[in-house]
Structure 1
């Protein structure tokens, strides 16, 4: 397939920067729109064009026209679940309202394909594990609801305008680019593997384990961890599908159909680092389901995509290598 011009919102952030790499590596042209509130300009590959502005700006329409953008990958948004509970309006503004404005820009400027970073939080606390795309979506926090509302808008817009979309519902994204070109650089991250590798290199004194009385094999929360590079590859595969079959849209889980508990993840970090991180058992956090694992049969049957780094120790190894690189960067 010929290279396309793709707009990536939030391309200076964690997942967005990896999608930029995957698109460029696949021969596409990339323009990034990011307001750099949580992203980093240095995280954007120099082969891409960076435009510093908010996704809800009308200026985005000019960017789409100027660069002949044929597809949008939308990663920009706020992602901290507890913060969404304490500040819901921020999430409905940054996720739902900003997405509405971006979708309108796409329609007005004639962009035909839209790939959206959705979330497993759209399911809330699933009645069964693994959870499939057709299962009930009953979010238990404003973060999940803000993303589900965007999915609803995309569905309605695709029915009314010549645009198709893929909404990828991410499970727990972790790891870093195997070539060390990007990784999770957020300060105060809330992701377990990021926190654990920070502890492994001495950035933190311990790792808190929130909840030891869940209905799981070892009592700690079970999650489906997907390597960020595999996730980025899924976005490129989704783009190929949208272009080849413009009449159809897709909502797909992005995960491995394999759950690991908090303690299993920490055991993996201990294995990879050959040391022991201090674990502190704490109470449950509000809104944490016991287990969240993807039924990934739909993405495997729909996209020309297979995970390449679906091994917990590999994910941890890549995350650790990035954390060491980040520490060097911050020290220099």
Structure 2
């Protein structure tokens, strides 16, 4: 079985779903107790193909306990300290300790592969437009998250040189079912939620769409763009990295392969939710943010395509329609 740390979380749930679709069984390691995510079927739980295990990645004993109950053959390590839940140094310490614990467990179990989550944020300061895995990364980081992921990548490289099969995944801006309704890094989630909330409220698109978006903490500019990857595609990419027989590299980008502007997102929502686009466009600031880079960068996903056969299946229109449908159906987030 594949251990997915943080398996009940956002990206974790989609990774579990993709692994199950590939015929793998999954152990969902999660610090907080609770049921399997909505993407897992009751039958898969009854059949023992998806099992939730209480686990604190900082506690080696709690991680190793899962290996006594299940034959763990691979690990996708996604668990991390809650963003902003503690001081930056404490967050870095907890995440580093969790990674060391997972790698120690991998050694003891003799697992086939460990996939370690990194982020597009490690490329901050790298010139675009296409961000490649072999680009030199600056040592400094503007935020605790990319700083922690750079630490994780160095540790993963050392583990790989010590004989473990470790692959690092630099993940772009992920959005979709079970994700946060608002992100501090890009506007798409709150644009979709704003339109979906109006539908739920009165069956149409009212002025609260604009109010919801305009009232957000971070202004959303029409021309600001970011490499967006739909959560279902992200989960499948991580599952492929875990199960591909012989990856040729140790670091892979996971993204959509292009930068998507907020105005494109608004237009796609308008096609999925007639009447939403004008309100959303009114809520967006014109042009680009003063803090936006001169060139919109995207993740080069050539390695991922070549080594795993991955290609994004959820284009913008299909993804928006799916996400709106998920929210209208009353699903969580």
Q: Tell me the TM-score range normalised by the shorter chain.
A: 0.7 to 0.9
Moved more, 312-321 or 94-103: 94-103
Q: 1:89 to 1:125 in 2, by over 3 A?
A: same
1:147-189: per-residue Cα shift (whole Å, max 9, x none)?
111111111011113x2122111111123xxxxxxx2254655
Aligned twin of 1:314 = 318
Aligned twin of 1:232 = 235
Q: Deviation of residue 282 (structure 1)?
A: 9.7
Alpha carbons 1:257, 1:294 under 8 Å: kept: yes
Structure 1 unaligned blocks of 5 or more: 176-182, 213-217
Moved more, 274-283 or 22-31: 274-283
Aligned twin of 1:113 = 113
Q: Distance in 1 between matches of 2:78 and 2:66?
A: 17
Task: State how 1:1-332 maps to structure 2 within 5 Å.
Answer: 5-36=1-32, 41-43=36-38, 45=40, 46=42, 47=44, 48-58=50-60, 59-78=62-81, 80=83, 83=84, 87-138=87-138, 139-161=141-163, 163-175=164-176, 183-186=177-180, 189-190=183-184, 192-202=187-197, 205-208=211-214, 210=219, 212=221, 220-241=223-244, 244-245=245-246, 249-276=249-276, 277-278=279-280, 279-281=283-285, 289=293, 291-309=296-314, 311-326=315-330
Q: Deviation of residue 145 (structure 1)?
A: 1.2
Q: Distance in 2 between matches of 1:124 and 1:269?
A: 29
2:330 is paired with a residue whose SS is helix
1:285-330: per-residue Cα shift (whole Å, max 9, x none)?
9986563311111111121222222x11111111211222336x69
1:202-239: per-residue Cα shift (whole Å, max 9, x none)?
37632146364xxxxx6x32111112222222122212
Q: Deviation of residue 90 (structure 1)?
A: 4.2
Q: 1:15 to 1:238 in 2, by over 3 A?
A: same
Q: 1:274 to 1:211 in 2, by over 3 A?
A: closer
Where does structure 1 differ by over 6 angstroms across 4 or more consecutive aligned residues? 282-288
TM-score when normalising by structure 2: 0.80
TM-score when normalising by structure 1: 0.81
Alpha carbons 2:268, 2:320 under 8 Å: kept: yes
Q: Deviation of residue 53 (structure 1)?
A: 2.2
1:166 is paired with a residue whose SS is strand
Q: Distance in 2 between matches of 1:35 and 1:140?
A: 28
Q: Distance in 2 between matches of 1:288 and 1:101?
A: 38
1:65-111: per-residue Cα shift (whole Å, max 9, x none)?
4311010011111475xx49x93124313432221222122223322
Structure 2 unaligned blocks of 5 or more: 45-49, 199-208
Alpha carbons 2:240, 2:308 under 8 Å: kept: yes
- Between Structure 1 and Structure 2, how many residues are aligned? 303
Alpha carbons 1:221, 1:289 under 8 Å: kept: no
2:285 is paired with a residue whose SS is strand
Q: Distance in 2 between matches of 1:79 and 1:253?
A: 23
